[in-house]
Amino acid sequence: MQIFFSPASPFVRKCMVVAHELGVADRIEKLPSAAGPVKRDESILPNNPLGQVPTFLTDDGQVLFDSRVICEYLDTVHGGGLFPATEPARWARLTELSLADGMTGAALLARYETMLRPEALRWSDWTDGQLDKVRTGLEWLEAAAPSFGDRVDIGTIAFGCALGYMDFRFPSVDWRAQAPSSAKWFAAFNQRPSMQATLPVA
């Protein structure tokens, strides 16, 4: 198995956390890439017309993207149970995944605005609007986090990667003050070996 890899991507990290939890991370070859929203990595395009990470190559030659598909593939093939098979738990975990990915995507857009766009063209209202999605997502998470307990599934993994990305790219945003229950849950979850093994690197 191979994955087009970026050590800073929260979506790549989510796939690798899943791989670690399933015990197959050492079987995945990390292919270096330099995918970006403006200058795309030509080496990815033959496999993924979007030129994005993560892009995953299975042992039988199938190409998978995006991170949700890759995570469910790994879980299905390796029997991890990180995606519940039956409802209503399945729909609940997929909804958590969608919210966490939405928060992460919004944070990425805010990052692009502040770091990639020329300074004279930056729009602070855009950045504020994206980070406000993170804020309202945290409101939902704050109500739900006390019930997470020691759950390890695609929902909690996705939230862990979302909050980890906020710490990585937006250390000045004190999300813990807004969401102390979420912060308490994250402090414990972030100590899992899978999370520690995938900490983002600039």
CATH number, position 184: 1.20.1050.10
pLDDT of residue 103: 98
> Tens digits of per-residue pLDDT, 133-159?
999 999 999 999 999 999 999 999 999
Is 136 in the same domain as 184? yes
Tell me the per-residue pLDDT of 75-134, one tens digit each, with 9 for 90 and over.
999 988 999 999 999 999 999 999 999 999 999 999 999 988 999 999 999 999 999 999
- Assess whether 100 and 184 both reside in one domain: yes
d(CA 16, CA 132): 28
- Tokens 């300074």 correspond to 119
For residue 10, what is the domain's CATH number? 3.40.30.10
For residues 124 and 49, state if they share a domain. Answer: no
pLDDT tops 90 at residue 39: no
Report yes or no on 202 lying in a domain: no
**32 sits in which H/E element:** strand 29-32
Q: Where are the beta strands (DSSP E) in 27-154?
A: 29-32, 55-57, 63-64
For residue 38, is pLDDT > 90?
no
55 lies in the same domain as 131 = no
Average pLDDT over residues 39-57: 95
Overall average pLDDT of the 18-22 stretch: 98
Q: Could you tell me if 73 and 129 lie in one domain?
A: no
Residue 194 DSSP SS3: helix
Instruction: Write down the pLDDT at residue 20.
Output: 98
Same domain, 166 and 93: yes
Q: Containing domain of residue 140, as a range?
A: 89-192
- Which CA distances in Å does 141 have to 20, 31, 37, 96, 127? 24, 33, 28, 9, 21
- The answer to whether residues 68 and 150 belong to one domain is no
**119 and 63 together in one domain:** no
Of 46, 78, 110, the residue at which a domain comes to its end is 78
Domain final residue pick, 18, 45, 78: 78
Do residues 130 and 74 both lie within one domain? no
Same domain, 108 and 171: yes
My answer on whether 10 and 52 are in the same domain is yes
pLDDT at 202: 85
> Which among 78, 112, 127 is the end of a domain?
78
